Structure 1
Amino acid sequence: MTDPKDDLRVYLQDARDVLLWKLDGLPEYDIRRPLTPTGTNLLGLVKHLAGAEALYFGTAFDRPFAGTPLWITGDAEPDADLWARADETREDIVGLYRRACAHSDETIAALPLDAVGRIPGAPKETTLHRILTHMIAETQRHAGHADVVRELIDGAVGQRPDGLNVAPHDPEHVGRVERAAKEAAARWS
Structure 2
Amino acid sequence: MIAPDAKSDLHRYLQNAREALLWKMEGLPEYDVRRPMTPTGTNLLGLVKHVAGVELGYFGETFGRPSAEPLPQLAEGAEPNADMWATADESREDVIGLYRRAWAHADATIEALPLEAAGRVPWWPAERAEVTLHRVLVHVTAETHRHAGHADIVRELVDGTVGLRPSHGNMPPGGPTWWADYLERLERAAREAGDR
TM-score (norm 1): 0.93
Question: Does structure 1 residue 183 correspond to structure 2 residue 155?
Answer: no
Query: What is the number of residues matched between the two proteins?
Result: 186
Q: Distance in 2 between matches of 1:113 and 1:69?
A: 30
Structure-2 residue corresponding to 1:141? 146
SS in structure 2 at match of 1:141: helix
Any conservation in 2 of the 1:57–1:104 contact (CA below 8 Å)? yes
Summarize the Cα distance change of 1:30–1:141 in structure 2 as closer, same or farther, 3 Å threshold: same
Structure-2 residue corresponding to 1:108? 110
Q: Distance in 2 between matches of 1:74 and 1:136?
A: 29
Q: Distance in 1 between matches of 2:108 and 2:144?
A: 18
Structure-1 residue corresponding to 2:22? 20
Any conservation in 1 of the 2:52–2:99 contact (CA below 8 Å)? yes
CA RMSD of aligned residues (A): 1.8
Structure-2 residue corresponding to 1:68? 71
Consecutive unaligned residues in structure 2, runs of 5 or more: none
Q: Distance in 2 between matches of 1:98 and 1:85?
A: 19
Higher alpha-carbon deviation: 27-36 or 159-168: 159-168
Could you report, residue by residue, the CA deviation over 1:34-63 in whole angstroms, capped at 9, with x for unpaired residues?
Answer: 000000000000000000000000111111
TM-score (norm 2): 0.89
Shift of 1:74: 8.5
SS in structure 2 at match of 1:117: strand
Question: Does structure 1 residue 172 correspond to structure 2 residue 181?
Answer: yes
Consecutive unaligned residues in structure 1, runs of 5 or more: none
Question: Does structure 1 residue 158 correspond to structure 2 residue 163?
Answer: yes
Could you report, residue by residue, the CA deviation over 1:70-95 in whole angstroms, capped at 9, with x for unpaired residues?
Answer: 56x99842100000000000000001
Q: Which amino acid aligns with 1:45?
A: L
Q: Which amino acid aligns with 2:143?
A: E
Q: Distance in 2 between matches of 1:2 and 1:14?
A: 20
